[in-house]
Chains A and B, each alone.
Chain A
Amino acid sequence: MACRGLAMSPISDVLVITHGPVGCAYFSWDNSRAQEVGRQGSLFASRSFSTAMTENDVIFGGEQKLALAIEEAVALFQPPAIAICATCPVGLIGDDIDKIAQLAEKKFGITVIPLACEGFKNVPGYKVADLKIVDEIFGSKSRAAEEFSINIVGEFYTGKNKQEIDALFEQIGYHVVSALMGVTTIEELRSGHTAALTIVGSDKAIDDVVQSIEEKYGIGWIKVDFTGLSNIIGSLRDMADYFGDQALKERTEAAIKDTVKGLMPQLLAYQERFVGLTAALFEDCFKSDHFLAMLVDLGVEVILISQDYARNEVTDEGFLGTFPRQLSKRWEEYVLFNELSPQQENDRSLTFLLSRSQVREFLELLGPDLCFSGITQQFEYDEKCIKSRTFNSEERGVQYAGVQGFLQFAQDLEMSIFISHWETDVPEWERDITAGELLC
């Protein structure tokens, strides 16, 4: 389902048929976030197509049903391309989706992409799809290579973000050839091999894919991050450096100057509002990176980054806590007293392996103004009267990437600080049942 949702649905002219039970298609239905505003041909993404396998199909095989489903899809919607996403039962009963795809290609003269992205596969679905696209769709249409042409790999190139990035790139002079996991079309992907650079800004393990692009088509790649002002500026400079063209560099600096100039009044106002504010992050590593970058830009001090990835063998759970050196006065004593030794360290921060109770103690010790609680809410922030907030932008259909996203984040942060007191406030009638005067 990650295959359909992440990788395939942003390709607006591909009709994706989920070959499997109806649930798989139902739950991967909503992909509107992947659509570009106002783009034609997004008809398919608002619908859900599947073969709705039944018990009979699982017993006797679903190949015929799939072939028929493709035929019906072509008759109803005339898509330029169809993708077939395999599901768990399909992989187990051994339906030959490659064969069905080949036959359908011949019969209807359209591109049919079979994707072996069964849910139990060790390889994630988006990678299956992206590798397939790089292997078979890239290079299927020749096109004169343009100067400063790039491929984009990353979920950030969708929705309003895409509009913003497109405008920025146009100003600098980049030409976007195609996108993986971002909004694109099958036609654009066919000439993906003509790009001169791949920029990668994904929260997913996608390095294999960009390496594969490099090996097959000789296209170099760099990592970018369009979340947070400093990151945006850094990424644009990295891109210009990659090409090394003086005029391009100048246009990049001009674009950065424009962006900063436009943003400055709001940024300064926010920075002033957030002076002295401290925060602790309990998000996954990708989100933490993004939030950290934006918080630094906004002048908020991040005093603890905690992630629960590390499973401590003794306690069966553990947290990696990262602390900045510049605030070492606040945590040094605790570390010495508990004889903690750092797991990792760099010139800016130290990382310790902590138990649940140690994280709790740190929380109490550091008393952050705001906790980014993550979606799992692992600690009892309320009991300690610490404000906490889930910053899940996708749930509200907003994005934090790009300049507009950065401002959105700043606004969300502001409202969290001023609204979340409801979480920790106790009404007077509950605090104190005796004292007080009757109004009369």
Chain B
Amino acid sequence: MANAVPVSTESPWPRLGLRPLALLVMAGVWAGAFLLSLALGSVRIPLDQVLTILVGGEPLRATWATIVYDFRLPKALTAALAGAALGVSGLQMQTLFRNPLADPFVLGVSSGASLGVALVVLTVGAANTALLAVAGLLGNLGLVAAACLGAGLVLLLVLALARRVQSSVTLLILGLMIGYLTSAIVSLLLYFSIAERIQAYIAWSFGSFGGVTWGQLRILTPVVLGGLLLAFILTKALNALLLGETYARSMGLDIHRSRIGIVTSSAVLAGTVTAFCGPIAFLGIAIPHLCRALLRSADHRVLVPACALLGATAALLADLVAQAPGTSVVLPLNAITALIGAPVVVWIILRRGAGRGVFGV
């Protein structure tokens, strides 16, 4: 509530509730973006036809049903899941590390995924040009498996460290070091690789929601939903951590268990998304800031669902722009998220005068 609004004498207390109205609006915007991403693309399908297809009716043209079911629906679902995952994961990292610059990748999980992919694309099957051709296509199952393996190994390493270290800042530094280590290995692999392989790797690193099939969605969906559920369960711990670890402990929070829960949820969300979609930058760091500025709240019972909804919406819109509707051009997703997102976030944070309020920066 703005300071200019006179405080009514009837209620001198600010509301601490869950802001159902704001969340409902966010859900509405998300649904709109979802429908829009089904309608727009290289071929434009009228919205009413999209709805007809979704409820199982017969569209005016049979190809439209194929386009929606085989291409746009899995892609939109992937984008929504990935956006929600990255937004919530970023929120958890920023709160756990009490650092406004933290994002889902600070733990080095997606660096692990990148290393897995780099190992497959740049080294395995050196003599096999057919594999190379396949590897260039996103959604290759070998790539996903390698990325999952890389992310999972780093996750286990981080969890083992999280049990031992006393302070979360140490964990943050260790995560960054793991990130540097893996990118160093990737650089070495790139240096000794051939141009075509490098291009294939770079194509993966641009990020894309398009390569995920219905089959892969059967893995992606439950894993992401599980990670989000864990984040919802951890909201009370996240709220306590707002005051720092010492205060959180003094309020009866089991710091070690909470930290492991938060790290697991965040790393599973970020790692899975990276494995399936490539390293999607920017959303993870920007969405939590946007939600805090829009809702003027630091309560995680509001922020977690808000970050999930806004993250999903932002991912859908970014993907929509990357498709350059009406053309057959597909722009790199990572470029779009930052190119459009960064100015929007700067504008909102400055306009709401919230810059100082976000972690007192």
User: Do A and B interact with each other, yes or no?
Assistant: no
Binding site for B on A (CB under 8 A): none
